[in-house]
Each structure stands twice: as C-alpha cells, then as structure tokens.
Amino acid sequence: MVWSANAQNFSGQWTCSYISFDAGTQNRIERSYTLLLYPNGTYEAAGTHVSSLIGIYERWGSQGQWQIGGMSENTPYVQAGGTANFSSGRSEHFVFWGWIRGPNELASEYSQGGYQNRTSCGR
C-alpha cells in the first residue's frame, strides 16, 4: 500500500451513496449522505432516504463511533455505527462498512438470495 490506513488519513468529509434492492419485493432504497469522520473516532452523517416501492422520502442523521479494521489481514476497511434518526420520527441502527480502495475511495457490495446492496464514498 502506498497510503497509510490510519484514522488521521481517513478523517474528514466523505460524500456517500447507498443503494439496496430486494428482488422479492422489488423495493429499492437509496440513501445519499455526507459522512464526517473525526480523528477521535466519532462520526456524523446526514442525508436523504428514498424508498421507491412505498414512496418514502425523508431526511436522516446519525452520530456514533468509527474505526479502521482489517489491518492484520492487509484488507483495511472503515466501519461506523450508531443510531439514525429520520424526519418521520422513526429511528434505526445505522451501520457503515466500506473497503478502503485508496486514499479517496471507500466501497462495499453485498448480495444474497435476491437482496443486493452497494455503498460507495469519495472525497
């Protein structure tokens, strides 16, 4: 690795998108948000949440903790978690997880049994 995977290098503002699709229900969820990673291991996120099947559009925000993992396996990633609060009044657990693809890119993909999701962040 040419770059160093440490909290100082990945702190700052990231622009992120999350898309999930459930083939069984045909529901697509999209989230666009800004993720602020602080050197002290805390984060803030804020953005929009759209669910096409049921016509939901709402704003959301989250705060919590983040860290870098996977260093011993030489497959570094950023993970974050906390509570997300939505403009509708509901809340849910927010989980962010992205492979470190370079100094300015975080990304992850997952699929199983007709369910797919993709997260990407850049700066």
List the domain boundaries for the chain: 7-122
Q: What pLDDT is recorded for position 4?
A: 54
CATH number for 7-122 (one of 2.60.120, 3.30.1490, 2.40.160, 1.10.287): it is 2.40.160
Q: What pLDDT is recorded for position 3?
A: 46
pTM of the predicted model, to two decimals?
0.88
Q: What pLDDT is recorded for position 70?
A: 86
Q: What pLDDT is recorded for position 7?
A: 67
Q: What pLDDT is recorded for position 119?
A: 96
Length of the chain in residues, anyone? 123
Q: What pLDDT is recorded for position 73?
A: 76
Q: With a cut of 70, which residues of the chain have pLDDT below it?
A: 1-7
Question: Quick one: tokens of 37?
Answer: 């990673």
